[in-house]
């Protein structure tokens, strides 16, 4: 690394740095610097892709644990917990894909996760099926294309089919859940 300085007379001095910046010396420091320009948290679809691309279970666990959040846990519980029943038709959803670039004119699944109860059994019994499906389509159209596709795989409980190695056992191990998808004592 080259350090450029000015003398009091205005002339330029170039020096070879003998030591790099301490924050950049570690892998963690480099990762922090790479995320500095990012204005939004990682998308759940990006997390799923990282899990898919990870070579082994310890790396997959690390990805989940590094991105642990309440919204992520809610979405993954809906994806893998067999007691959660989605009140939406299974299969493809007829919605218009949001073509806006990531980070602009769309919502995030991490923000919308708190509304997912509307689409599950015992979530909101006052909603008619038509209204529930309309709200779901509106949610999908507000998300970016990748997150909308990820949410459809969650609702269809097909995450493991789309993302290799993204299984219920992986999620249980990452979050310390028992077989009922509850925190172990």
Q: Which of 62, 74, 85, 79 is nearest to 154 (CA)?
A: 79
> pLDDT tens for residues 52-109?
999 999 999 999 999 999 999 999 999 999 999 999 988 889 999 988 777 677 788 9
Quickly state the pLDDT bin for 38 (edges 50, 70, 90): low
Token pair 């294309």 in the structure block, residue: 145
Alpha helices in the chain (DSSP H): 27-34, 44-53, 57-66, 70-80, 109-112, 129-142, 145-155, 159-162, 168-175
User: Structure pTM?
Assistant: 0.76
Q: Give the separation between CA 65 and CA 172, rounded to whole angstroms.
A: 11
> pLDDT tens for residues 129-163?
999 999 999 999 999 999 999 999 999 999 999 99
């Amino acid at each position: 690394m080259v350090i450029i300085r000015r003398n009091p007379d205005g002339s330029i001095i170039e020096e070879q740095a003998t030591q790099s910046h301490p924050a950049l010396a570690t892998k963690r420091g480099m990762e922090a610097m790479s995320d500095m320009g990012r204005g939004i948290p990682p998308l759940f679809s990006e997390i799923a892709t990282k899990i898919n691309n990870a070579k082994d279970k310890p790396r997959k666990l690390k990805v989940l644990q590094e991105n642990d959040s309440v919204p992520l846990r809610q979405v993954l519980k809906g994806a893998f917990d067999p007691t959660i029943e989605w009140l939406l038709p299974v299969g493809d959803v007829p919605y218009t894909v949001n073509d806006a670039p990531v980070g602009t004119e769309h919502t995030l699944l991490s923000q919308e996760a708190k509304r997912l109860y509307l689409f599950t059994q015992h979530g909101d019994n006052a909603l008619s099926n038509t209204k529930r499906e309309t709200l779901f389509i509106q949610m999908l159209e507000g998300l970016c294309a990748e997150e909308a596709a990820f949410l459809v795989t969650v609702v269809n409980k097909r995450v493991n089919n789309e993302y290799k190695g993204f299984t219920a056992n992986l999620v249980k191990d990452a979050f310390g859940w028992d077989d009922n998808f509850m925190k172990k004592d």
